[in-house]
Amino acid sequence: MILDIARLLLFPALMAFAAASDLLTMTISNRVSLALVSGFLALALLSGLGSYDILSHIGAGFTVLTVAFACFAVGWVGGGDAKVAAAAALWFGFGHLLSYLVYASLFGGALTLLLLQFRQWPLPYPFAGQAWLLKLHAKESGIPYGIALAIGALVIYPETEWVKAVDLTHFAIR
């Protein structure tokens, strides 16, 4: 039952934390990415995931890390976003990777358009004292892409083997 709770909550909670952190501070701590990686490894081992499957998931994470850091090097994404995207890819493996990347891209595009529009309007006076909102509103600020990465991940996660392996009879009301 503890393993099922971990499967249901660990990844979504860490992705939600990454999104909130990016929204409020425009940064994602390395600890979040490390927690995602170590959480994956722990659950993979405790769930009995085979060596080939673990290596395949690591390959997906490494592939995204390589591409994301190339994007970081040219200034397209932040370093925290690159690491979180790779850590999420680790959880999805190649089986759900394309779906995740498509959703994250679509949500990222929508977020970018919304923020660009938001930055065209003056910030209402009651919100002017909120440091995080001022930073988000600033035209020279980047886009907190961790939000899109998290939403894309949370859309895909229920379709993964992690959630499908959960024994819901443990949670039945008796």
Residue 156 domain-assigned (yes or no) = yes
Residue 116 domain-assigned (yes or no) = yes
Residue 141 domain-assigned (yes or no) = yes
Residue 89 domain-assigned (yes or no) = yes
Residue 174 domain-assigned (yes or no) = no
Q: What are the Cα distances from residue 173, in Å, to 7, 12, 91, 169?
A: 20, 23, 30, 9
What is the reported pTM? 0.91
Closest CA to 85 of 33, 134, 137, 128: 33
For 115, the domain range is 2-169
Task: Domain count for the chain, please give it.
Answer: 1
Ordered DSSP codes for the chain: -HHHHHHHHHHHHHHHHHHHHHHHHS---HHHHHHHHHHHHHHHHHTT--HHHHHHHHHHHHHHHHHHHHHHHTTSS-HHHHHHHHHHHHHHHHHHHHHHHHHHHHHHHHHHHHHHHHTTSPPPGGGTT-HHHHHHH-TTS---THHHHHHHHHHHGGGSHHHHT--GGGG---
Residue 57 domain-assigned (yes or no) = yes
Per-residue tens of pLDDT for the chain, all 174 residues: 888 889 999 999 999 999 999 999 999 999 999 999 999 999 999 999 999 999 999 999 999 999 999 999 999 899 999 999 999 999 999 999 999 999 999 999 999 999 999 999 998 888 888 899 989 999 889 999 999 999 999 999 999 999 988 877 666 665
At 126 the pLDDT is: 84
Residue 109 domain-assigned (yes or no) = yes
